Amino acid sequence: MPLFDYAPAPESRSIVSLAPSYGLFIDGEFTEAKGTFKTINPADEEVLAEVALAAPEDVDRAVAAARRAFESWSALPGSERAKYLFRIARILQERAREFAVLESLDNGKPIKESRDVDLPLVAAHFFYYAGWADKLKYAGLGPDPRPLGVAGQVIPWNFPLLMLAWKIAPALATGNTVVLKPAETTPLSALFFADVCRQADLPPGVVNIVTGAGDTGRYLVEHPDVNKVAFTGSTEVGRQIARSVAGTGKKLTLELGGKAANIVFDDAPIDQAVEGIVNGIFFNQGHVCCAGSRLLVQESIASPLLEALKRRMSTLRVGDPLDKNTDIGAINSKAQLDRITELAGVGSDEGAERWSPPCELPDRGFWFAPTIFTGVTQAHRIAREEIFGPVLSVLTFRTPAEAVEKANNTPYGLSAGIWSDKGSRILAVADQLRAGVVWANTFNKFDPTSPFGGYKESGYGREGGRHGLEAYLA
């Protein structure tokens, strides 16, 4: 029995009022579909609501609505579009607590993250792009950049509302209209966002939300009347989408998987490096495409660093996502839990040494203890494949050149981390890493002004910043 334990401190869920069922948001109205599916709380497997399953004809309706809306929306002065986005940003700020609780319920992420990371970034993203709407000619993309038309956007389940913001804010600022499909397991925050659009008096059809699974998404991106496709998700699906839009002339941006190296040199600020490692892989249960899932530690400090890491991991609190003291919440779905479990099993089978701190996992729901594998080499599957869970593979290196070589030895190229107190080494290593985002002496930092996106098989195009506009303008 510890001397000082934290009593349960659950955030009240009463701030969210869930309807038993939700329709599709098309042309400013919630409309029904023939099929439905259930969305559950991954922390206890309780059904949260029933959600419409969009069929092809529903997607057709949504695209048609977006097409109709495009004419007037794109003709609106940028300054007016800006005001709608500012309004949306404000409403999101005012409803932040509600959305945070909702996101934690549907996704399983800890409330402290949905409250302190997701929601502030969501509002900030709308604020940022709102300001661009009437300044596009200054973006360095030509004197009169034009919107593309209807954007078909498919987003993942790891940051449901934040990914929605990353997609919708720049699309609307640039004068496009959108049909967005949230992930099958996390549709609710997008549907609540539809309500925000109505509150903001956004013209009907400018934002349409179609819920469903892979088929709905596929139909949307392949829709002939869609001009722009934006996808965030797995590299495998990204590949399929790239194939399917080949020859259509649709503009495509993809933000896909990763297997980021987090490189710790022997002169690193050690306590901050340990925090960075923990934040890199255990933030959002490791359901992060840019997660620092490969720890590359200089062999000369491997042993004390790992000891410190294990000590730190022992303080991680796994459990109820709504508890304000929870550090690691629920795995988003049974399917994802199975995948993590399988790959962790492979890690053990391939001879890597597995360690987790003692932690009690709840009986119901989907859970996975924070785990590290030591003795991993580049030849292990857990060093190459994206696990998308709270599982860290630890490798060692001897020299900076070896660290860079190992870091780059992957088909992915989304992000990387560097920990060192030596400025010139940081800059040289950052130069050589083939990754779209390099965090030096920090990790998993995001900002609407900062472009995000990958090299190689981590996708193409950037989201955020001035660069993020490019994806939505011709």
Kindly list the residues in this chain that would bind another protein in the complex (CB under 8 A).
2-7, 9, 112, 116, 124, 140, 142, 235, 238-240, 242-243, 246-247, 249, 254, 256, 267-272, 275-276, 315, 324-325, 411, 421, 426, 430, 433, 435-442, 445, 447, 449-453, 455-460, 462, 465-467, 470
- How would you list the strands of the sheet with 35-40, edge to edge? 21-22, 47-53, 35-40
For residue 222, give Cα distances in angstroms to 33, 215, 226: 20, 10, 8
For the stretch 242-256, what's the b/e string if a residue is b when 16 or more beta carbons lie within 10 angstroms of its beta carbon?
beebeeeebbbbbbb
- CB closer to another protein, 68 vs 146: 146
Shortest distance in whole angstroms from residue 428 CB to another protein = 11
Residue 80 is a catalytic residue? no
Q: Measured between alpha carbons, how far is 177 from 196 in angstroms, rounded to an integer? A: 16
Shortest distance in whole angstroms from residue 99 CB to another protein = 18
DSSP 8-class letter at 343: H
Torsion region of 376: left, alpha or beta (phi above 0 gives left; psi -120 to 50 gives alpha): beta
- CB closer to another protein, 66 vs 254: 254
CA-closest candidate to residue 180, choices 341, 391, 24? 24
Residue the block writes with tokens 């050149």: 401
Question: Among the options 184, 255, 386, 463, which is catalytic?
Answer: 255
Tokens standing for 324?
């304000």
For the stretch 413-427, what's the b/e string if a residue is b when 16 or more beta carbons lie within 10 angstroms of its beta carbon?
bbbbbbbbeeeebbe
Q: Are 118 and 168 in contact (CB under 8 A)?
A: no
C-alpha neighbours within 13 Å on the C-beta side of residue 62: 33
CA-closest candidate to residue 42, choices 104, 92, 134? 104
Q: Measured between alpha carbons, how far is 416 from 414 in angstroms, rounded to an integer? A: 7
Q: Are 376 and 393 in contact (CB under 8 A)?
A: yes
Beta strands in 43-97 (DSSP E): 47-53
- CB closer to another protein, 325 vs 341: 325
- CB closer to another protein, 212 vs 276: 276
- CB closer to another protein, 194 vs 230: 230
- CB closer to another protein, 40 vs 274: 274
Shortest distance in whole angstroms from residue 256 CB to another protein = 7
Shortest distance in whole angstroms from residue 60 CB to another protein = 24
- CB closer to another protein, 340 vs 433: 433
Shortest distance in whole angstroms from residue 334 CB to another protein = 29
Q: Are 393 and 380 in contact (CB under 8 A)?
A: yes
The one-letter code for the residue type at 255 is E
Shortest distance in whole angstroms from residue 1 CB to another protein = 10
Beta strands in 115-260 (DSSP E): 150-154, 177-181, 207-209, 228-232, 251-255
Shortest distance in whole angstroms from residue 11 CB to another protein = 9
Shortest distance in whole angstroms from residue 247 CB to another protein = 3
Report how far apart the first and last C-alpha atoms of the chain are (Å, whole number): 63
DSSP 8-class letter at 112: H
Q: Measured between alpha carbons, how far is 161 from 44 in angstroms, rounded to an integer? A: 21
- CB closer to another protein, 20 vs 247: 247
- CB closer to another protein, 61 vs 228: 228
Shortest distance in whole angstroms from residue 457 CB to another protein = 5
CA-closest candidate to residue 289, choices 236, 346, 341, 220? 236
Q: Measured between alpha carbons, how far is 390 from 217 in angstroms, rounded to an integer? A: 27
Please list the active-site residues.
Answer: 255
